[in-house]
């Protein structure tokens, strides 16, 4: 229990002093996780919508697979990306291993199924309501997806934020493909793992509190910018 108070005090000290190392790793955490969320949303949101309004033979299999992939162990994804991007692997010539780019790639693989599954669920419900209208308007497939994505934007925001939440708290994959290199690929979660390994629980908890604060801040900002949960609007 004592460690927790120490952690809180330490977190406050680091923030007040604008600790240079803390700012560096927190910034990289945000860059990597937001980058991964952006890419995963660009893939996952349209994919979820497309799966919701199209009927094809293996649709159920695809959806079930996508749902199952939400539970992918990050360590396995990390290892997979490592093997692909290792110098002795197929994409080794790119020299991307142990760079933030490799970390973004790993996180995109982890969170795209989450974004796609949640958006699929939301769009499917919306599609049930809009089906007759959009068909009678003779809307094209692209127009249907666009209309559904726009009108379902609040639910889709939740899908993206769920992806972001998984990304910013993830450590297993980025530890392997990023390597936790000081001043290069160290982010909040890998720094927490490092401090825990050193037995510095106070510092580890302090970084944990900063991580939580950052996640809350990002969510608040998104809600504020999109003006949800205000007044009579839903």
Partner 1 sequence: MMLKSLALLAAMALGTAASAEEMKMAVTTSFANSGLAEVLLPEIEKDTGITVQLLVVGTGQALTLGAAGDVDAVLVHSRAAEDKWLAEGNGTHRREIMYNDFVIVGPSTDPAGTKTATNATDAFKAIAAAQAPFVSRGDDSGTHKMEQALWKTAGIEPVGDWYRSVGQGMGAALNTAAGMNAYILADRASWLNFGNKADLAIDFQGDPALFNQYAYLPVNPEKYPHVKAELVEKLEDWLVSDKAKGLIEGYKIAGQQLFVFNAQPE
The first and second tokens of residue 19, run together, are 């600790």
Closest separation between CB of residue 201 and partner 1, Å?
6
Which residue is associated with the tokens 């708290």? Answer: 169
The first and second tokens of residue 157, run together, are 């925001």
Closest separation between CB of residue 131 and partner 1, Å?
28
SS3 assignment, position 37: helix
Cα 109 to its chain centre, rounded Å, is 10
Which residue is associated with the tokens 């910034």? Answer: 27
- Of 103 and 148, which has the nearer Cβ to partner 1? 103
Cα 226 to its chain centre, rounded Å, is 19
Q: What residues contact 22, with CB distance under 8 A and at least 6 apart?
A: 14, 15, 207, 210
Closest separation between CB of residue 129 and partner 1, Å?
27
- Of 199 and 231, which has the nearer Cβ to partner 1? 199
Closest separation between CB of residue 108 and partner 1, Å?
10
Long-range contacts of 125-133 (CB under 8 A, 24+ apart): 126/151, 126/152, 126/155, 127/52, 127/53
Closest separation between CB of residue 207 and partner 1, Å?
14
- Of 19 and 124, which has the nearer Cβ to partner 1? 19
- Of 47 and 63, which has the nearer Cβ to partner 1? 47
Residues found near partner 1 in the complex (CB under 8 A): 31, 35, 38-39, 42, 86-89, 92, 95-101, 104, 179-182, 184-185, 194, 196-201
């Amino acid at each position: 229990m004592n460690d927790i108070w120490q952690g809180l005090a330490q977190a406050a000290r680091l923030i007040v002093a604008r600790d240079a190392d803390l700012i560096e790793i927190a910034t990289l955490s945000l860059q990597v996780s937001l980058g991964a969320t952006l890419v995963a949303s660009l893939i996952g949101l349209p994919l979820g919508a497309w799966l919701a309004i199209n009927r094809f033979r293996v649709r159920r299999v695809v959806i079930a697979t996508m749902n199952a992939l939400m539970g992918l162990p990050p360590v396995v994804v990390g290892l997979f990306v490592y093997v692909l991007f290792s110098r002795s692997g197929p994409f080794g010539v790119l020299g991307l291993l142990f760079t933030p780019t490799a970390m973004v790639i790993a996180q995109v693989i982890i969170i795209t199924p989450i974004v796609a599954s949640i958006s699929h669920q939301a769009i499917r419900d919306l599609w049930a309501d809009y089906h007759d209208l959009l068909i009678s308007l003779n809307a094209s497939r692209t127009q249907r997806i666009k209309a559904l994505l726009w009108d379902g934007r609040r639910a889709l925001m939740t899908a993206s934020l769920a992806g972001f939440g998984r990304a910013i708290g993830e450590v297993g994959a980025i530890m392997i493909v990023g390597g936790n290199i000081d001043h290069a690929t160290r982010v909040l979660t890998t720094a927490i793992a490092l401090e825990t390994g050193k037995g510095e629980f106070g510092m580890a908890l302090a970084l944990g509190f900063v991580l939580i604060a950052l996640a809350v801040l990002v969510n608040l900002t998104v809600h504020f910018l999109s003006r949800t949960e205000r007044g009579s609007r839903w």
